[in-house]
Homo-oligomer: A and B are copies of this chain.
C-alpha cells in the first residue's frame, strides 16, 4: 500500500490529496497543515475584509472533517513538518498545540508549502499594526482591527495584486487608503503604459498613490503609525498592510538538501519531481518554466498550483505527466476596472533583450450599437519574425478576462498574431462584435508585422523633431480643439485626400488619431500617395494622454 505524505493543505496540497485518492482508493494519504484550516480560499480573503464575502464558512471549501469523510485522507491540522529525512524517508512533525514532535515515514512525499509574505528587515516593520495577509487568521486579524479600532487611514506597502485588492476592500469600509509603490507603477505584470489607466482610476476613486517611493522606517505613535518615506517625507496612518510580494517557503526543502533555484524556489523537473526521487513539489514554493519564454520563472498563482497538484498526484501514482510551464495568466478587479494579462510584459521582454513588436487597440466590449458596450484596451506583444504571441494585457470595465483568456489559449497552443485574425468567436450584439476585440488586436498586429503600417509609440513622441517632421492629428476639428499633442497640425481624415498638397512629402509624417484606427487609414492613404516615411501612433492620443496625466 502506497503511503503518501503531503505538506500543506491548501491549493496544491489539497488538490493533490483529492486526486491521489481518486487514483488510489487504498493508498494511505496523510495531509499535514501547520495552520488550523485546509482547503481555504486564499484568493477570497481580501473580499472578506471588505464585507463582499460575509460568511466565514465561505472561506473554506473543505474542512478537515469533510475532507476525511469524502476522501478518507488523514488530515492533520496544527501539524508543522519541521524536517525531512530523505535517506530514511521520513519527516518530523511538530504539533503546534504543545510543541511535541514525532516522525512519520513515507513512500512518496509531496511538498506544497506555498509562499510567505516578504517582510523587509527595516525598523518598525514588525509592528503589530503592520499586517500581512496570507491565511485565515491573518484575515481575521485585519478584520478585527478594522471592526474594533475603527481606523480611518491605511497604508498599503506594495501595489501588487494583493495590495490592490486589499486597498479596494478597505476603501469599501470607508478607510482612506494610500498605496506606496517602490517602482514607477503598480502591478508588476503590467507595463507602465497600461498601469497608467489604473493609476488614474484609483486616484479618481480617492485612493492615494505614492509611486517611486519606499517606506524606510515605521514608527508607532499614540495615534497610529508614522512612515518615513524615501523622498524624505513622512505619512501617518492607523495601520498598514505589507504586501510587498512573497517568497517561496522552501526552508524545509533546502534543509533537506533539495535543490532550489530562482528566489530560492524549489527546483523540480517537468514531472514536478524535486532533486530527490521520492519527493515532489508544487505551487508557490517551486520554480517553473515560463511558458512564453522557456526560461525559469517564479509564478505564484492558484491555477498553476491546482494543476500542478493534480499532475504530481498522477506521477506519484506511477504516471509520467509533464507540467510544461506557467504563463502567468491573471486578472484583477480594480474598482470598476479589470486588468488581465498573460505571458510576458514589455518590461520583461526588454529586461531579457527578447525581440518583440507591440500593438495597442481599443475596442468595445460588445457591439457599439447595443447598450452596455464599454471600451477595452489591449496591448499585444508578439515576435517580429513569426508573429508568435508573447504576451498580452488588457484593461476595461467588462469582458477583459474573456479576451485575455482567448489570447492565453492561443499563447498556450503556440499560436501567432495570424491565428488571432482567424479565430471565429461567438458573436451576438450583447456579447461582442462581428470582429471581436481579439480579432481586431490580431488585424492591427498583423498590419504592423506586414509593414502595412509603421507604428510609433507614446514614448517616442517627445523625440520627434518638429522642425524636421510633421506631427499630424487626423481627428476631427472638434477633437483637435479639445486637446492634442503640442506641435500637431490638424487635417481630419475625411478631408485628408483633398488636403494632401499641404503636407511635405520630403519629411517624415507622424500621424495620430484617438486610438490608432483613423491614423492607420491615413497611413494607408499617405503611403500610397508618395509619402516615403509615414508613422502612426499606436494607441493614439488616448493612450498618450492617459500616460501624461
- A interface list, Cβ under 8 A from B: 11, 21-22, 24-26, 41, 43-44, 47, 52-53, 58-59, 61, 66, 69-70, 72, 161, 165, 291, 301-307, 310, 324, 326-333, 338, 340-342, 367-371, 401-402, 404-406, 408-410, 412-413, 415, 419, 421-432, 434-436, 439, 443, 452, 493-494, 497, 520-521, 524-525, 528-529
Contact A329 B427 (CB under 8 A): yes
Q: What are 16 residue pairs bridging A and B, where the CB atoms are less than 8 Å apart in the complex?
A: A22-B521, A25-B524, A43-B367, A43-B429, A302-B427, A303-B425, A303-B434, A303-B436, A303-B439, A327-B424, A329-B425, A329-B426, A401-B426, A402-B405, A405-B426, A408-B423
Within the complex, the shortest CB–CB distance from A391 to chain B, in Å, comes to: 13
8 more contacts with CB within 8 A, not counting A303-B439, A331-B428, A338-B431, are A43-B367, A43-B427, A44-B370, A66-B494, A307-B424, A330-B426, A409-B410, A409-B425
- Residues of the B chain whose Cβ atoms lie less than 8 Å from the Cβ of A434: 11, 43, 302-303, 305-306
- Residues of the B chain whose Cβ atoms lie less than 8 Å from the Cβ of A304: 424
- Residues of the B chain whose Cβ atoms lie less than 8 Å from the Cβ of A59: 369
Contact A435 B53 (CB under 8 A): no
Residue of B at shortest CB range from A411? Answer: B424
Give how many copies assemble into the complex.
2
Q: Which of A44, A402, A413, A425 has the most CB of B within 10 A?
A: A425
Decide: A427 near B52, CB < 8 A? Known: A22-B524, A367-B43: no
Contact A401 B43 (CB under 8 A): no
- Residues of the B chain whose Cβ atoms lie less than 8 Å from the Cβ of A70: 493-494, 521
Contact A405 B429 (CB under 8 A): no
**Option from B404, B426, B428, B524 in Cβ contact (under 8 Å) with A342:** B426
- Residues of the B chain whose Cβ atoms lie less than 8 Å from the Cβ of A340: 426, 431
- Residues of the B chain whose Cβ atoms lie less than 8 Å from the Cβ of A161: 428
A423 to B303 Cα, complex, angstroms: 9
A434 to B309 Cα, complex, angstroms: 12
Contact B424 A326 (CB under 8 A): yes
A70 to B476 Cα, complex, angstroms: 13
- Residues of the B chain whose Cβ atoms lie less than 8 Å from the Cβ of A439: 303, 307
A310 to B330 Cα, complex, angstroms: 33
**Option from B22, B367, B412 in Cβ contact (under 8 Å) with A422:** B412
A435 to B303 Cα, complex, angstroms: 6
A494 to B72 Cα, complex, angstroms: 9
Decide: A430 near B524, CB < 8 A? Known: A410-B413, A423-B412: no
- Residues of the B chain whose Cβ atoms lie less than 8 Å from the Cβ of A529: 25
Residue of B at shortest CB range from A399? Answer: B402
